[in-house]
Structure 1
Amino acid sequence: MTLSVEEKEGAPFGHRRRPRRKHRVLRWSATTLSVLILGTAGAGYLYYQHLNDNIVKGERASGDSKVGKAAPNAAGQTPLNILMIGSDSRNSDENVALGGSRDNRGNPPLGDVQMLIHLSADRKSAAVVSIPRDTRVDIPECEDPDTGKTFPPTDTIINESLARGGAGCTLATWQNLTGVYIDHWMTIDFAGVVSMADAIGGVEVCVKQNVWDRPLPNVPGGSGLKLTAGRKKVEGKQALQWLRTRHAWGSDPLRARAQHMYLNSMLRTLKQQNVFSDTGRLMDLAEAATKSLTVSQEIGTVKQLYDLGTQLRTVPTDRITMTTLPTVPDSQNSDHLVPDGAAAEKIWSMLRDDVPFDDKGGKAQQKKPASEEQPAPAVNKAAVGVLVRNATQSSTAAPVSGRAGAVAQALASKGFTKATADTSATLSEDRTVVRYPSAELRGDAHAVAKSLGIPLSSVKKSTDVSGVTVDVGGDWRTGTAYPKQSAPKAGDLPGNSDEINGSDAKQCMDVYAPYRW
């Protein structure tokens, strides 16, 4: 019997996955986030220029995205969003030794680990959302900043975005999927995970049964992780094995849970450690951190990383919530996933509106955004030009014909007689958005949104439009009045988001039976 690539690497029993050029997976985001926390140790001011030279930088965005920054809240504060990407690159001897798959050396890396870290505008809570690597999404047109090669838009699994224009393309993909503006990205590879794990000094993990993620009959591969039941500290290569393990947990979503447990444990460890008086330890941490990362260019100095760390330092562990994007099987390919409709949109809505993933912040954090509290100014509707476009197509649904015309007619009946439908192109937006190009048209855009019942949080300034433009998204497939949606409440996450609180030290992984010993 001939085994597929995934079977050779050890797919879980009863589950065959499609062959892929890069099939071994590493979830690094737990370790990468620790770099931000290093600001608590003041590492940013040791060997400043030397450490700056260690940091590799790249273009923030290299893909087509129309998402703008969130409006400030009533206190003038804005959220901070950081995309963490784990690269499966095997472009060095060290990465090949750690990750295997020598045949793939030199190939463009895949972004097999992707997590969005959302720091609330008031810096009192943080949320983390992982997207499984095989989730099918719309990847926009991207240009590789190194080669100048242009990649056309495509509909495929999200981990391929990294090979289609680098981390900047992955960032654009996330922005288009979520409607959330992402301020920065960071990437880390196999070798970086090991060096950071060593510098931290180990992280405590837990398994309910003895685990050995090893080759089995007809299921070769595995990370090599071998632990006895209970709580153990892992570091270096063993920490890497924990983060890579999939077969012993039974699925990719369960692997994400194990990585979230590792990340939470690591954050607790870093907060408990007193490294201020240990100069040698500080040097080790700073050296490992700056050598392990590639970052978007606007945070390409140690001071800028330090400043990020000081912001994250304010968040207590019991206000950090780890989640995985709700998904369902892909009807087009059983080996893939797609976002779970309303549940996924609820996650993105909470991030866009800066609603805490936990309910521990009190009512003060549940105020409406400043843009929602400002009344729309009076406008001469008959003088407002409005272009309406059909953006109801998505990775899971075909476009609904006639939507642009129907909404344009509805606007005309409400006094916006210059409203017209653009039938020349079909776009893709998960939610309806009203865009305007300049400050003087902001009031007009708000008036258009209010007349249709569209929330003002969906009104965005964008240089990609020449006038007020309504993109009718996948959340508005019927009718001429925008569907009423209840505002998300703090802590009201979908049931299938698998959330874990950062202060929960009792979490322990259940081992898939064939990998117990």
Structure 2
Amino acid sequence: MVSGVSVAAIATFDVANSAQDGIVLDIEDGAAEVPQINAIEGGVNVLVVGSDSRVGQDAVFGDSDSLGTLNDVTMLLHISEDHQNASVISFPRDMFVPIPSCTGPDGDTYNAMSRQKINTTLTYGGLACTVLTVEKLTGLDIPYAAEVQFSGVMAMSTAVGGVPVCVAEDIEDVQSDTFLPAGEHTLEGYAALQFLRTRHGVGDGSDLTRINNQQLFMSSLVRQIKSSETLSDWTKVYSLAKAVTSNMSLSTSLNNVDTIVSIALALKDIDLDKVVFAQTPTNLTDGGVLPAQPAFKDMFTALSNDEAIELSGSTGGGTVADPNAPVTAEPEATEAPATDAAPVDPEATTDPSVEPTEEPDDGVTTLSESVTGQTAGDYTCTAGRTLRDQ
């Protein structure tokens, strides 16, 4: 007990000192109140952005001066008010959306645009502009945000001791230098990053099937973090916490150890099958994709109403079911209790004066089949793509 408390105190102090300066978001009701270290009250929306910026990154990723800054990964985490379910929504990088007027971190103002790819928002106005764009697009308030670069992804995958992934067919991608044979792999560091970046080696080679592959990785990561092997290992818990704060650019509302811990506690007891990873439904258009209506609106109406979402579509073309997934035993059938109630006459006329009883609303919205994704409890394998198919 003494050693555990000591490590916790040292980790909290050191993690707090490693946090970077926060990024100011344009939140109408002011900065979110920082809770104590208990599960945060109510629902939570956090936007997580993956930047392709090479600034401060290893030279292996290219010249930092020759490339722009795009949010090629944009994901929204929604935790329900009762902390019983969570959703992670991925926005394709090539989705055309309206971008509102934004003020960048340099103070420059960027005019509103009616149709631009969502991954350009980080270029136009920084993380705050990406948040504002997603808020206008979805109708949700997003008080928390984080931006992660390549090194952050590498650090977090290493902190948990690697992430197990299944590859159904060989992945061969010259562009990202990713070559993985079919089978089971535990990836960390650079290998984990390249697995997430690969596009040509997965599915049909598009960003849409790359998102499927990323959801496979994130599902496995959630299982890894929630496992006893990780949560009971203080070294891994501490390393993960430090990796988050020292390798991410956090909004001012999130740039606090207590806040990060309180959000983590809200996720702690959610069942794996209640953690849903979904990709926004889209239709193809010249040079990219557009939100597919009404399925797109229905998804965010459900989240706005704090309803759990349920998938009815496939996992997408980038993944397939894992044939070696753990099998859950079916509950044993039990005999129905005997009853003395009189049998119901099927020809009896219903009394029109008695109003029918409405079935209770279970607070779950089943999404359109056009929405691809999986839960953290689903075991899937990457649908690899070899060079001969490219």
TM class by smaller structure: 0.7 to 0.9
Q: Deviations over 1:91-133 (max 9, x none)?
A: 1242x42x2255525x4x2111000111011100011111101
| Letter matched to residue 265 of structure 2 | T
Q: Where do 1:93-492 residues align within 5 Å? A: 93-94=57-58, 96-97=59-60, 99-104=61-66, 107=68, 109-144=69-104, 146-154=105-113, 155-214=115-174, 222-249=175-202, 250-275=205-230, 278-330=233-285, 334-358=286-310, 490-492=364-366
Quote the Cα distance in structure 1 between the aligned partners of 2:258 and 2:382.
37
TM-score for the superposition, normalised by structure 2 = 0.77
Contact 1:349 1:488 in 2 (8 A): no
1:304 Cα deviation after fit: 1.4
| Letter matched to residue 87 of structure 1 | S
Residue ranges of structure 1 left out of the alignment (5+ in a row):
1-40, 70-76, 215-221, 360-486
Quote the Cα distance in structure 1 between the aligned partners of 2:18 and 2:388.
40
Contact 2:140 2:304 in 1 (8 A): yes
Distance 1:254 1:515, change over 3 A: farther
Q: Where do 1:59-70 residues align within 5 Å? A: 59-62=23-26
Quote the Cα distance in structure 2 between the aligned partners of 1:139 and 1:45.
43
Aligned to 2:309, the other structure's residue is in SS state coil
| Letter matched to residue 100 of structure 1 | G
Quote the Cα distance in structure 2 between the aligned partners of 1:308 and 1:83.
13
Contact 1:43 1:282 in 2 (8 A): no
Contact 1:326 1:344 in 2 (8 A): yes
Residue ranges of structure 2 left out of the alignment (5+ in a row):
33-40, 312-360
Q: Deviations over 1:289-310 (max 9, x none)?
A: 2211111101211121111111
Tell me the equivalent position of 2:377.
503
1:251 Cα deviation after fit: 1.3
Q: Deviations over 1:12-55 (max 9, x none)?
A: xxxxxxxxxxxxxxxxxxxxxxxxxxxxx998743434322322
| Letter matched to residue 81 of structure 1 | N
**Number of residue-to-residue matches in the alignment:** 325
Q: Deviations over 1:56-81 (max 9, x none)?
A: 24344249x89xx9xxxxxxx74211
Aligned to 1:294, the other structure's residue is in SS state strand
Q: Deviations over 1:203-235 (max 9, x none)?
A: 111111122212xxxxxxx21121121221111
| Letter matched to residue 199 of structure 2 | R
1:514 Cα deviation after fit: 3.0
Aligned-residue RMSD, C-alpha: 2.7
- Calculate percent identity across the aligned residue pairs: 29
| Letter matched to residue 164 of structure 1 | Y
Greater RCO structure (CA 8 Å; 6+ sep):
2
Contact 1:46 1:286 in 2 (8 A): no
Quote the Cα distance in structure 2 between the aligned partners of 1:276 and 1:323.
26
Aligned to 2:14, the other structure's residue is in SS state helix
Tell me the equivalent position of 1:91.
55
Larger mean CA deviation between 224-233 and 188-197 belongs to: 224-233
Distance 1:285 1:335, change over 3 A: same
Quote the Cα distance in structure 2 between the aligned partners of 1:148 and 1:57.
17
Distance 1:237 1:357, change over 3 A: same
1:488 Cα deviation after fit: 11
Aligned to 1:166, the other structure's residue is in SS state helix
1:274 Cα deviation after fit: 3.4
Contact 2:224 2:230 in 1 (8 A): no
| Letter matched to residue 353 of structure 1 | N
Contact 1:87 1:187 in 2 (8 A): yes
| Letter matched to residue 316 of structure 1 | D
Q: Deviations over 1:396-455 (max 9, x none)?
A: xxxxxxxxxxxxxxxxxxxxxxxxxxxxxxxxxxxxxxxxxxxxxxxxxxxxxxxxxxxx
1:198 Cα deviation after fit: 1.1
TM-score for the superposition, normalised by structure 1 = 0.59
The one of 493, 501, 505 equivalent to 2:367 is 493
Distance 1:147 1:102, change over 3 A: closer
| Letter matched to residue 213 of structure 2 | A
Quote the Cα distance in structure 2 between the aligned partners of 1:42 and 1:201.
23
